[in-house]
């Protein structure tokens, strides 16, 4: 059967679409000199550890959705992941084309704001503004 030259030919897919199994670690990326890089939906860009060609910049990935404690139409809570933070990325229904950030974690480059294990019996909420200054809520 002939195919019209006016249409792009795409052979029938013979392999099934790949699926992921479990979350992966990534680092939030963005333009040099920025602390926060997001779009109007609160999405960020990331670079996975296995990405050898990425440049850890605003072009390292597609925009990735972020799960927040609660989100609704015109209400909710939001904390945009900062550039350099380690995040855990899972994929809706195992689809590698549908990434979503499901958590954040401390590591050797981004340590907790207060020394552990010394402060292990205390609960802290530390907010960091993009502008200089720090707002802290302490619940001993």
Instruction: Say if 11 falls within a structural domain.
Output: no
78 falls within a domain: yes
Number of domains in the chain: 1
Kindly state whether residue 133 falls inside one of the protein's structural domains. no
Q: Is residue 30 part of a domain?
A: yes
Long-range CB contacts for residues 39-42, cutoff 8 Å, separation at least 24: 39/63, 41/65, 42/66, 42/68, 42/78, 42/80
pLDDT of residue 11: 85
Residue 43 is part of a domain; what is its CATH number? 2.40.50.230
Could you read off the pLDDT tens digit of each residue along the chain, which spans 140 residues?
788 899 998 888 888 889 999 999 999 999 999 999 999 999 999 999 999 998 999 999 999 999 988 888 988 888 999 999 999 999 999 999 999 999 999 999 888 888 889 888 888 777 766 655 555 555 55
In a domain, 16, yes or no: no
For residue 79, the enclosing domain spans: 24-108
Residue 97 lies in a domain: yes
Residue 71 lies in a domain: yes
Tokens representing 100?
């979503």
Does residue 66 belong to any structural domain of this protein?
A: yes
């Amino acid at each position: 059967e002939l195919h019209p030259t006016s249409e792009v030919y795409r052979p029938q897919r013979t392999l099934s679409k790949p699926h992921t199994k479990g979350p992966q670690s990534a680092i939030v990326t963005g333009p040099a000199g920025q602390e926060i890089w997001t779009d109007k939906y609160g999405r960020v860009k990331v670079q996975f550890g296995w990405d050898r060609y990425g440049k850890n910049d605003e072009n390292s990935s597609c925009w990735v959705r972020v799960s927040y404690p609660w989100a609704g139409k015109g209400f909710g809570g939001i904390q945009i992941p900062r550039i350099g933070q380690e995040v855990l990325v899972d994929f809706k229904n195992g689809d590698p084309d549908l990434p979503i950030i499901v958590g954040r974690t401390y590591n050797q480059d981004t340590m907790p704001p207060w020394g552990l294990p010394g402060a292990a019996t205390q609960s802290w909420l530390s907010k960091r503004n993009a502008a200089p200054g720090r707002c802290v809520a302490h619940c001993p």
